[in-house]
Structure 1
Amino acid sequence: MMYEFQLIQSTGFRNHGPQGARDGFELRLRLPNYRGMRLSLLDGIDVTVDGEFFGHEVNSLILHGETYDLEDIRKATAVSWAMGDFGSVFVPKAGGLAPGIHHLKVAARVRSPYFPPHLQPLPVNGERLATIILP
């Protein structure tokens, strides 16, 4: 699979959970930094779909097969997100999303150890159209 420049990748946008019992949706992201980073430097990911906002406090990150809520992310000082590794954001939403084209916006809240604390976290923003298809 090719590593795309855009934060929101063109594949990996799908509903989560079995058909008839969807509990949310996921979208695939590339690393929101120009080099690898410790997961604890990420302060969550805000997601907006078709104008509906889902805050970083409720979204989870799936990385290397593990799921991290915001508290887990903040404690994950030994977990690295390397260049070329994909992560997925899980957004809880009963029923998931309707099939069709959706307007996605993402703000990955990144803390940089060399920036002053009052300037952090810095959002890394992405936006694109993506499609949910029937299974």
Structure 2
Amino acid sequence: MLERSLIQSTGFRNFGPVGARDGFEVRLRIPNYHGTRLSLFDGVDVTVDGEKFPYEQNRLRIRDEVYGLAELREAVDKRWGMFEWASVLVLKTGGLTPGVHRVAVTARVRYCYFPPEMHVFPVNAERIATIVMS
């Protein structure tokens, strides 16, 4: 079961080999009132403890498939279902230090029924999350 909050309380962790972490991930629920095509999801800005990681560089993992921004925009036949979670993968050499962090995200959602000049709608969330020692 997913939590109501955009940023889920589980799934905040470093990834990559122990001792040489590649980055960290933040688990999200869909920032929408229904499922959507991945091509209408335009990435996620992530900020941790004031350090910003822009959506153009972050990747989205859903159902063990990883998408960069260009792949998301082309994924017209793939969907993010309402009851599925996804992880934003953020590249940061060494990952995050173990401990408590302030995490903020801005998910960028597009709606096909709005004109292009009003096309991207930001959905913001913030929470305190903890990286544990592995």
Instruction: Provide the C-alpha distance between the structure 1 equivalents of 2:52 and 2:129, rounded to a whole number of angstroms.
Output: 16
Instruction: Provide the C-alpha distance between the structure 1 equivalents of 2:89 and 2:101, rounded to a whole number of angstroms.
Output: 16
Which aligned segments of 4 or more residues in structure 1 are displaced greater than 2 angstroms?
none
Instruction: Provide the C-alpha distance between the structure 2 equivalents of 1:43 and 1:12, rounded to a whole number of angstroms.
Output: 21
- Residue 123 of structure 1 aligns to a residue whose secondary structure is strand
| 2:105 matches 1:106 | yes
Instruction: Count the aligned residue pairs.
Output: 134
- Residue 72 of structure 2 aligns to a residue whose secondary structure is helix
Unaligned runs of 5+ in 2: none
Corresponding residue for residue 56 of structure 1:
55
Instruction: Provide the C-alpha distance between the structure 2 equivalents of 1:93 and 1:125, rounded to a whole number of angstroms.
Output: 22
Corresponding residue for residue 77 of structure 2:
78
Instruction: Provide the C-alpha distance between the structure 1 equivalents of 2:90 and 2:59, rounded to a whole number of angstroms.
Output: 7
Aligned partner letter, 2:47: T
Shift of 1:116: 2.1
Give yes or no for contact 2:112–2:119 (8 Å, CA) kept in 1: no
Corresponding residue for residue 37 of structure 1:
36
Instruction: Provide the C-alpha distance between the structure 2 equivalents of 1:122 and 1:115, rounded to a whole number of angstroms.
Output: 10
- Residue 104 of structure 1 aligns to a residue whose secondary structure is strand
Unaligned runs of 5+ in 1: none
TM-score by length of 1: 0.97
Corresponding residue for residue 87 of structure 1:
86
Identity %: 58
